[in-house]
Every structure is written in C-alpha cells, then in structure tokens.
C-alpha cells in the first residue's frame, strides 16, 4: 500500500516539523490534534501507481492496490498472456472524479499485440476510500471490467488470427501465371536397392522422355555421391502431376523408389522463363501477402468463446502483375531451343520498358543467367552508339557520304571489313552493310569520352535495380589512344554489353529516350544515374539507318517480317582452342517490340537473324 504509506511518511515529516515550531508550547511527539480533521489524500497518485505497475508487468504489486488482490493478480497477468502482448501503455490523463469516499477515472489501455498491432479501448475504473484522514487509502474496486468493459466474471481475453489469402500472380494479359501444382519427387532410397544399375536403367527409360537430364549414368553418379555423403536418398527428378500420373505405376514397381509429393506455386510450364521466374517469384510472393484478420474474444473458464470484443476482417493480398508476355516468351524460347551453342533472346516493350521475354536454351542455362548478366563484345551492333555520337558531333547525317575501304590501317593495326569494300557511300549505306572501316574512322575522330557518353543514352554502363532480377549492362571504356577509340567504334576493343542492355539499346532506338526496364508492375526500378536525353537528329538518323539494314543490308532475312529495324554484328574473340571465333548478334525492333538475339560463338549474324525471324513470324504484326 505504497501510496497510502507515502502519505503517512509525508504526514509524519510534516508533523515533526510542526512540533519543532511548537516546542515552546510543550509538543513532545506527533500532534494529537485530531488527525482525522486533515484532508484525506486524493486518489490520483494511487491511480497512476496502479497503471504504472500494470503496464510494467508488476501485476502482483498492482493487485495490492485493489479491493481483491488475489483475483486482480490473476486477471491482470492473464490478460497479457491471453493477448500475447508485447507491451501495454495505460493513459490515465483524464480527470479523476471524486465524491467523498468514491472516485472514477477513465483509463485508456493500448496493447501491442502480434499480428494485430496497437489495440486500444477505454475502461471506467471505480475507486473506494478505506480509512479516514491522512491515513486513508484509495483502492481500485476490482471487477473483470477493470481489464476490459466487455468481460464478465471468470472470463478472459484471447486473440484469434484469421489468415488472409495471397493475391494472384498474373501475366501482362491478366492470365494466371502461377498456380498451385502438385509435384512428385522420384527418390531412390540408396541403401535399399539391391541392383542399382538395373534400377537406373529402368528409371532413365521412364523419365528420360519427361526430363532430358535424367540418364542412367547420371543416376549412378548421383547414388554414389549420396552414399559418399552419408545420405540415405537421392532425388532423381521432380514431375508435375500431369507428367507423373502416366508413369506412376511403373515407377512404384521399382524396388527402392519412393514417390513423395507436395503442392508448390509454379508457372504454367516447367520451361516458362526459368531465368526470370527463379529469382522473381520469391519477390512477387512477398508482394502478394494479404493482411491477416483478427478477433479479440472473451473466453469462459473452459476456454470456449463467448463473444467477440473487437475484430478486423482479413484483407486478401494484392494482385501482382509480371510484364512477361507468354506469347513472346514462348516464341523466343522456341527460337533458341534448337541451337547447339548457348543462345538467348531478350525482348522489351519500347514504350514502357516492360520486359516481355527472357529466353535461354539449355546450353545457355548451363552458363547461368547470361541473358541478363553475361557480358560480351557487341560487335557491329555497337555502331548504333557510334552513329549516335557521330551525328551529335556533326560528323555525319544519314545522307553524308563517307569512305568504306576494305581495309584501314591505324597505328600499325589493320582494320578490315568482312571481305568487302564499298568505296564512297552514304553513312546509311555504310551502316546497313556494316562497314567496320567507316565507323573505326569516325570513332578515331571523336574525343575519348564520346562513345561512353553516347552509350549511356541507351542504358549501357548504367546500374539498374530491377525488382525480381539481377542485371548487368556492360561497360564502355574511354579510348586511351586513337587506335583504342577506333576499335571500340565497331564494337571490338574493350566494349562489353549484355543481351539485356542490347535489348534496351534497341528499345531506346525505337523511342525518343531510354525506357526504364521493369519486370513487376508497380515495383519501382532505380538506376545509379539517369540516361542522358537523345537528340532529335540522333533519334531520326539512327532509325533511318536501322531500317536500311533490313531493306538493303545485313538483315534482309527479316524483310518479310513487317516494318523491322535492326542491326547485326559479330564480335571476334580467341577461344580456348586458341582459334578466332565470333559471337553472333542481331538487335532490333518492330512496332512496340524490341529484341536482342545472341548466339555465343555463333560466328555469323545470319544465325541470329534466323532467331529474330522465328520470333517475329510467331507473333502478329502490329
């Protein structure tokens, strides 16, 4: 009873001082003059003390300030436990209404409840005075309503959480992109197989047509690895239900095989944009999470619910839209799949920057996400950048005549075309036929920073944070010498781009400025610094040149595919065999579709033209 005790202590100190003053009158102790005539202490101090003890978790101390300490101690502790509360703040700032031996105050309780947040309500606390005069004590007249006004005798608080449904993940056409799919694992119990080679052959025969990576040799190696690692099982493959059902009986008949299953959220097919979906789906799923609902209820002594004291309904998660276009993705995948070397296609919508497709064949998959992060010399596709820089510096226009010799020597290095010389032609013709010597000469006449600056207009060299994927855009170095600038001018030297940035370059060429790439609508893409604006002369000039590549140049294979604008390129490199090879590129756009096709070590852009042709013919013309 510390509030009353403190009052008594203060009274005794006051009394001692009073005796000292009246010593001459014979006062020898505590004043005998009617202590009950002094005013009784006000209840505010006790109210605040009770609140402080309860919110600090000192429920036993708080209970001592009530008319029923035993019941109060149990109820106060049970409230925090039933709510699972992490904090309690009690506001008793409201005026205390006092009338003789009774007082009333409105207290506002705010609990911090996991998955609920801050839960607040008000309760009327009634106080009674026990005793008289300065020694009187105020006690809280404890009832269940002290804890919450909706509680009755023997009742307690509890929380009921109601899960919220996650929002759907859809493609740009609002079709469901991810759905629950039952997946079966084909698992070998390695210590229960008497004849591993026979089991491996039977499994390869059944599973090989469904999963090309499953072979008897691979299974034997997997089992050996599992045994060496001390594992008792080896997972051969995972199959979706529609693929699993026809072979289920045959698989179950193989000794040592077990077939567990689980439901997973998966794209429509196993091969749908795995380069993107593997990293983007976890990001998207977090965005689809709904807001759980909750009910705070009163329970009786047996734990049964009596009534709901407060509630908030669960809110389903929002819909998350991927920018991928299944038609473009499927067409791109079908184009690259037959290629033996690593091959990729990246497609972007120029008007928005939305990523439409990211396709890689199996050979590319073996090297990682090269469509987004693989850095390669761009070859003559980089002449888009060189032409931009030359136009902006007044060196050429599409109709300017330039020299296109078969060879051109600078600093003892001979730059050559691929077996042709055009003589004096327009800059557009030199671009269309991919004249290396012309663009080497133009680059040699420009300052060291001209090409890097022009490249940033197209997003090359910028650092993007595209939610859901990791991307690189390459780098264009300043040429330290005239020779270095000349080599960079036709996409050799130290130039590096990625299929992602090559597609962004094509998308930029299609529009007035670089579009910001996005994969998940509503998820903001950031970039380390903005791309500089392109001049109108460069916009118009580059479009004219790229159209000529299709009508009269190195991409005439695309002439029947509509109004296509393109640039081809091959980029030489020395392979592991010490021989010279070349990467093959074709970049371009048609309508609101921009693309970049790469075959690593493809040697000829005729092959990437074929990829682009397969892509475009599979899609309707705008």
- Could you report how far apart the first and last alpha carbons of the chain are, in Å? 85
Question: Of the segments 10-24, 185-199, 492-506, which one has the largest average pLDDT value?
Answer: 492-506
CA angle 495, 499, 500 (to 5 degrees): 105
Q: What tokens were used for 520?
A: 């998940």
Cβ neighbours of 573 (radius 10 Å): 13
* pLDDT at residue 4 greater than cutoff 50: no
> What local confidence, expressed as pLDDT, does residue 40 receive?
59
Closest CA to 490 of 435, 428, 411, 556: 435
Q: Over the chain, what is the mean pLDDT? A: 91
d(CA 499, CA 580): 21
Number of H helices, E strands in the chain: 20, 25
Q: Where are the alpha helices (DSSP H) in 255-301?
A: 274-287
**Average pLDDT of the segment spanning 240-249:** 94
> What local confidence, expressed as pLDDT, does residue 35 receive?
45
Instruction: Output DSSP code: residue 409.
Output: E
* pLDDT at residue 202 greater than cutoff 80: yes
**Average pLDDT of the segment spanning 179-199:** 91
pLDDT tier for residue 610 given thresholds of 50, 70 and 90:
very high
Per-residue pLDDT of 453-472, as tens digits, reads 999 999 999 999 999 999 99
Provide the percentage of residues in the chain whose pLDDT is more than 70: 93
Per CATH, the number for 326-617 is 3.40.710.10
Tell me how far the alpha carbon of residue 310 is from its chain's centroid. Answer: 34
d(CA 379, CA 602): 12
Q: How far is CA 437 from CA 387, 442, 487, in A?
A: 13, 9, 10
> What local confidence, expressed as pLDDT, does residue 385 receive?
98
> What local confidence, expressed as pLDDT, does residue 271 receive?
83
Per-residue pLDDT of 65-74, as tens digits, reads 999 999 999 9
pLDDT tier for residue 355 given thresholds of 50, 70 and 90:
very high
Per-residue pLDDT of 286-320, as tens digits, reads 999 999 999 999 999 999 999 999 999 999 999 99
Secondary structure (3-state) at 25: helix
Per-residue pLDDT of 16-49, as tens digits, reads 332 332 233 333 444 444 444 455 577 899 999 9
Cβ neighbours of 239 (radius 10 Å): 24
> What local confidence, expressed as pLDDT, does residue 18 receive?
29
d(CA 534, CA 474): 20
554 with 564: CB under 8 angstroms? no
> What local confidence, expressed as pLDDT, does residue 495 receive?
95
Nearby residues of 234 by Cβ (< 8 Å), 6 or more positions away: 187, 188, 190, 219, 222, 223, 225, 226
> What local confidence, expressed as pLDDT, does residue 395 receive?
97
| Strand 564-574 versus strand 355-360 pairing type | unpaired
Per-residue pLDDT of 117-134, as tens digits, reads 999 999 999 999 998 888
Domain boundaries in the chain? 2-153, 179-266, 326-617
| Strand 564-574 versus strand 580-590 pairing type | antiparallel
Q: What tokens were used for 249?
A: 């009986």
What is the pTM assigned to this prediction?
Answer: 0.78
Domain 2-153 superfamily per CATH? NTF2-like; domain 1 (3.10.450.100)
**Average pLDDT of the segment spanning 72-77:** 96
More confident residue, 574 or 38: 574
Per-residue pLDDT of 527-541, as tens digits, reads 999 999 999 999 999
pLDDT tier for residue 579 given thresholds of 50, 70 and 90:
confident
Q: What tokens were used for 381?
A: 């596709």
10 Å CB burial of residue 513 (0-12, 13-18, 19+) is middle
* pLDDT at residue 100 greater than cutoff 90: no
* pLDDT at residue 332 greater than cutoff 70: yes
Secondary structure (3-state) at 594: strand
d(CA 406, CA 484): 19
Nearby residues of 375 by Cβ (< 8 Å), 6 or more positions away: 472, 474, 475, 496, 497, 498
Closest CA to 233 of 208, 202, 215, 258: 258
* pLDDT at residue 347 greater than cutoff 90: yes
Instruction: Output DSSP code: residue 163.
Output: P
Q: What is the DSSP string of 331-377?
A: HHHHHHTT-SS-EEEEEE-TTT-BEEEEEE-HHHHTT-SHHHH--B-
> What local confidence, expressed as pLDDT, does residue 512 receive?
84
């Amino acid at each position: 009873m510390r509030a009353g005790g403190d009052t008594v202590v203060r009274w005794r100190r006051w009394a001692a001082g009073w005796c000292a003053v009246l010593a001459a009158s014979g006062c020898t102790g505590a004043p005998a003059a009617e202590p009950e005539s002094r005013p009784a202490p006000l209840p505010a101090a006790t109210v605040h003390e009770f609140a402080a003890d309860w919110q600090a978790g000192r429920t036993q101390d708080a209970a001592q300030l009530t008319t029923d300490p035993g019941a109060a101690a149990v109820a106060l502790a049970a409230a925090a436990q039933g709510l699972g509360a992490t904090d309690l703040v009690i506001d008793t700032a409201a005026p205390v209404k006092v009338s003789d031996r009774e007082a009333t105050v409105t207290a506002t309780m705010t609990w911090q409840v996991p998955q609920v947040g801050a839960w607040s309500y008000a309760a009327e606390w009634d106080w009674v005075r026990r005793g008289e005069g300065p020694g009187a004590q105020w006690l809280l007249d404890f009832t269940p309503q002290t804890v919450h006004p909706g509680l009755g005798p023997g009742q307690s608080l509890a929380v009921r959480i109601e899960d919220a449904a996650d929002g759907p993940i859809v493609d740009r056409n609002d079709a469901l992109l991810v759905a629950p799919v039952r997946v079966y694992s084909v698992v070998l119990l390695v210590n229960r197989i008497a004849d591993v080679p026979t089991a491996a052959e039977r499994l390869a025969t059944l599973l090989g047509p469904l999963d090309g990576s499953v072979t008897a040799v691979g299974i034997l190696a997997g089992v050996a690895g599992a045994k060496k690692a001390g594992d008792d099982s080896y997972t051969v493959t995972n199959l979706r239900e529609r693929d699993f059902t026809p072979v289920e009986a045959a698989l179950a008949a193989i000794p040592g095989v077990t077939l567990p299953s689980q439901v997973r959220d998966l794209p429509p097919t196993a091969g749908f944009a795995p380069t993107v979906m593997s990293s983007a789906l976890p990001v998207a799923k977090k965005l689809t999470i709904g807001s759980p609902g909750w009910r705070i209820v009163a329970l009786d002594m047996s734990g049964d619910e009596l009534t709901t004291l407060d509630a908030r309904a669960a809110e389903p998660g929002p819909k998350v839209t991927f920018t991928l276009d299944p038609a473009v993705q499927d067409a791109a995948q079908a184009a690259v799949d037959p290629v033996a070397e690593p091959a990729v296609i990246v497609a972007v919508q120029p008007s928005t920057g939305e990523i439409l497709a990211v396709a890689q064949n199996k050979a590319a998959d073996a090297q990682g996400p090269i469509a987004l992060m693989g850095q390669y010399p761009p070859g003559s596709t980089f002449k888009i950048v060189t032409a931009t820089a030359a136009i902006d510096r007044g060196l050429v226009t599409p109709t300017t005549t330039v020299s296109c010799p078969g060879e051109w020597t600078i600093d003892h290095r001979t730059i050559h075309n691929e077996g042709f010389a055009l003589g004096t032609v327009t800059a557009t013709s030199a671009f269309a036929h991919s004249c290396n010597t012309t663009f080497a000469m133009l680059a040699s006449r420009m300052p060291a920073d001209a090409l890097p600056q022009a490249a940033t207009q197209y997003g090359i060299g910028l650092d993007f944070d595209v939610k859901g994927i990791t991307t690189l855009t390459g780098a264009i170095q300043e040429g330290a010498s005239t020779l270095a600038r000349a080599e960079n001018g036709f996409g050799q030297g130290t130039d590096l781009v990625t299929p992602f940035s090559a597609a962004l370059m094509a998308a930029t060429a299609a529009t007035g400025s670089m579009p910001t790439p996005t994969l998940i609508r509503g998820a903001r893409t950031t970039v380390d610094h903005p791309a500089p604006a392109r001049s109108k002369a460069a916009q118009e000039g580059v479009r004219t040149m790229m159209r000529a590549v299709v009508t009269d140049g190195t991409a005439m294979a695309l002439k029947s595919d509509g109004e296509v604008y393109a640039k081809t390129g091959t980029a030489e490199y020395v392979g592991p065999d010490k021989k010279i090879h070349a990467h093959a590129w074709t970049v371009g756009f048609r309508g609101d579709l921009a693309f970049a096709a790469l075959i690593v070590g493809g040697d000829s852009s005729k092959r990437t033209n074929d990829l682009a042709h397969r892509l475009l013919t599979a899609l309707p013309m705008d």
